[in-house]
Structure 1
Amino acid sequence: MPRMIDVATAQYPIEAFHDMGEFHAKAERWVQNAVNHGAELLVLPEYGGMELASLLPAPVRDDLRAQREALQALREEALATWWSLVERHAVTLLAPSMPWRIAPDRYVNRAWLLAPGRSGFQDKQLMTRFERGQWGIAPGDPDHGGGLKVFDTPVGRLGVLICYDSEFPLLARRLVEAGAELLLVPSCTDTEAGYHRVRWCAQARAIEQQVAVIHSPTSGEALWSPAVDINIGRAAVYTPCDHGFPPDGVLTRAHDDTPGWQFARLDLDAIAALRETGQVDNHADWQRQLTRLEIPIETVRLR
């Protein structure tokens, strides 16, 4: 039997809440909607958890450094909310990431991957200038379990590349070599240029490694937030450009900035078979390219 999975990837708005009850209601509404469409794997974006900062006093919320610490008091309840929905609906879900304190004055960008009876987290590996500078968010620390991981889940073996991480092909290759069948790319970008960097790199990773890539961005304006005030992106599912898949590699992609889910059905066996029967051998030729790099470069002066 083919291994078919129904996926939902969120184009997720950062919204302001009056209390945690409003957050619980939003999470329940979003998960229920995806489940109603038959989704088994739900992917939510990078820094979607920053909407919890709307519950902080204004002076704390408006201070990039102070909000990191204040959010720690809310993180366990937020995680428990997503996990209770996962248990209730028997789905696999990548929860929205948020700053996560792992040591005094050390915060990482952590996304939790949840399935019934099990959980794990992926920390972002490479930080943008804004994260490591103004915001003070650090890369994952191997001493705190912050390296790359492959997750065995009910829907397959998954790897997570958080936003900027997707722009580095060696990280994706490491995950695929470790057995990842599907790559998840949660993102948060505030310009069209940033969105397109992640979008095209996600597509490149799908082509290079002959896997599907699920992209979930934040969307819309949250002008009350100094961290995630403007959000631009389109939720999508990308595949290799090969037999049985869209010629442009776009299985689904949002047409505009309307919040909501994008749904798709993926045949993991059909994607894996491309490594043996596809028009090209990108996955295998990754190693072959390395032998070409051993040949010295010749400088040629045209005459």
Structure 2
Amino acid sequence: MTGITARPARGRSAPAPGPDRITVAAAAWPVARPDSLQALEARLDQWLGEAVAGGAELAVFPEYGGIEAGVLSPRWRPGDLAADIDAASDMAGIWLDLHRRLARHHRIHLLTGSLPVRDPVHGLPVNRCWLVAPDGSAAHQDKRMMTRFERESWGIGPGDARRVFDTALGTIGIAICYDAEFPLEVRDMVAAGAEILLVPSCTDSAAGYHRVRVAARARALEGQCFVMQSPTVGVADWSEAVDVNRGAAGIFAPPDRGLPDDGVVAQGGLDQPGWTIATLDLGALRRVRADGQVLPLRHWDEQASAGRA
């Protein structure tokens, strides 16, 4: 398989065939205001070059990383949240095309930073990211659960239904930030075959970051899957939407035989920009799913009021 096939996260499905081991990179992305599209592309190109030099076959950028592209739209105005949405949506096609070029150039799978998009299918703008394959093919995932800021201040709404993405690396699910705090959202993805869950995040406090981190580790445990968290970091006083950013990149697993005892595959430093790179032993994960010390994925439906998938 060379591209990406997106399908609804419904029912039970086996994962797409994939390798036993892959190397992945989660970004702690320092938000910065670009002065041109060329400068933004050059920065992303440099970062991806570093990830590839570290062996990465999949690179993950954070939630609202695409706000940087919105600054380059003529409709962007500092301190104006509505203008942030319009400007970012103006740049959505350019943002995707940029990442398609970079994925082809570096021969890597990547998750774009998300950005607000005005999609005519939805009444409100949505928070959207794209998974891009090395051949430039792409498919999107929208955020499903809105934070209070998105609901009450920014007017962002839920987008398209949950999906999983079949790739040459196996089956991947995406839970954007707050989505990861809702077990049934992710349960549908792992039931549909996801072995890797991507959690791009954007949080403005240490407490917010830790909420997402705790959720990511819980989803790894109960879904018997690998989870990659990629946050924004740093101060962006030019942006009303992403003005303060706290977090650390992390890669997590279910604690079981052949996987880390504490469930932490790799962890970056708090508020420290850079890549966190690790090799995922998917063979070990599959053995744990089949014959682990515990079998939460298999036993899920024994809970009261379970059996949704």
Residue 300 of structure 1 is matched in structure 2 by none
Structure 1 residues 2-81: aligned runs within 5 Å: 3-55=20-72, 60-81=77-98
Question: Are positions 1:191 and 2:205 aligned together?
Answer: yes
Distance 2:301 2:267 in 1: 31
Indicate whether 1:110 and 2:128 are aligned. Answer: yes
- The one-letter code matched in structure 2 to 1:192 is A
Number of corresponding residues: 288
More displaced 10-residue stretch of structure 1: 247-256 or 282-291: 282-291
Cα RMSD of the aligned pairs, angstroms, is: 1.9
**Structure 2 counterparts to residues 72-151 of structure 1, below 5 A:** 72-103=89-120, 106-115=124-133, 116-140=135-159, 146-151=160-165
Shift of residue 277, structure 1, vs aligned partner: 2.2
Conserved in 2, the CA contact under 8 Å of 1:53 and 1:61?
Answer: no
Q: Distance in 1 between matches of 2:238 and 2:63?
A: 18
CA distance in 1, matches of 2:136, 2:92: 19
Match for residue 170 of structure 2? Answer: 156
Given that residues 220 and 253 in structure 2 are in contact (C-alpha distance below 8 angstroms), is that contact kept between their aligned partners in structure 1?
Answer: yes
Asked whether the 8 Å contact 2:300–2:306 carries over to 1, the reply is no
Tell me the equivalent position of 2:300. 286
SS of 2:48's equivalent? Answer: helix
Say if 1:98 and 1:268 are closer, same or farther in 2 by CA, change over 3 A: same
Task: Give 1:120's aligned amino acid.
Answer: A
Matches within 5 A, 1:235-274: 235-274=249-288
Deviations 1:166-214 (A, max 9, x none): 0000011100111111111000000111111100010000000111101
Opposite residue 237 of structure 1, the aligned amino acid is: I
C-alpha contact (below 8 Å) 2:128/2:142 kept by paired residues:
yes
CA distance in 1, matches of 2:156, 2:130: 17
Q: Write out per-residue CA displacement over residues 133-191 of structure 1, whole angstroms, 9 at most, x where no aligned residue.
A: 11111101xxxxx1100101121100000000000000111001111111110000001
Cα distance change of structure 1 residues 85 and 125 upon mapping to structure 2, 3 Å threshold:
same
Show the 5 A alignment for 1:177-188.
Answer: 177-188=191-202
Q: Distance in 2 between matches of 1:34 and 1:7?
A: 8
TM, length-normalised to structure 2: 0.89
Separation in 1, partners of 2:298, 2:124: 39
CA distance in 2, matches of 1:101, 1:41: 28
**Which amino acid in structure 1 is aligned with residue 152 of structure 2?**
G
Would you say the 8 A contact 1:2–1:267 is kept in 2?
no
CA shift for structure 1 position 268: 1.1
* Secondary structure of 2:118's aligned partner: strand
If the length of structure 1 is used for normalisation, what is the TM-score?
0.91
* AA of the residue aligned to 2:194: A
Separation in 2, partners of 1:218, 1:244: 31
Shift of 1:276: 2.4
Any idea what SS the aligned residue of 1:55 has?
A: coil
CA distance in 2, matches of 1:87, 1:219: 27
Gaps of 5+ in 1: 141-145, 294-303
Structure of larger gyration radius: 1
Gapped regions of structure 2 (runs ≥ 5): 1-17
Aligned residue identity for 2:163 = K
Rounded Cα–Cα distance in structure 1 between residues aligned with 2:242 and 2:37:
19
Letter in 2 for 1:180: A
- Cα distance, 1:57 vs. partner? 6.3
Amino acid at match of 1:44: F
Q: Which amino acid aligns with 2:31?
A: I
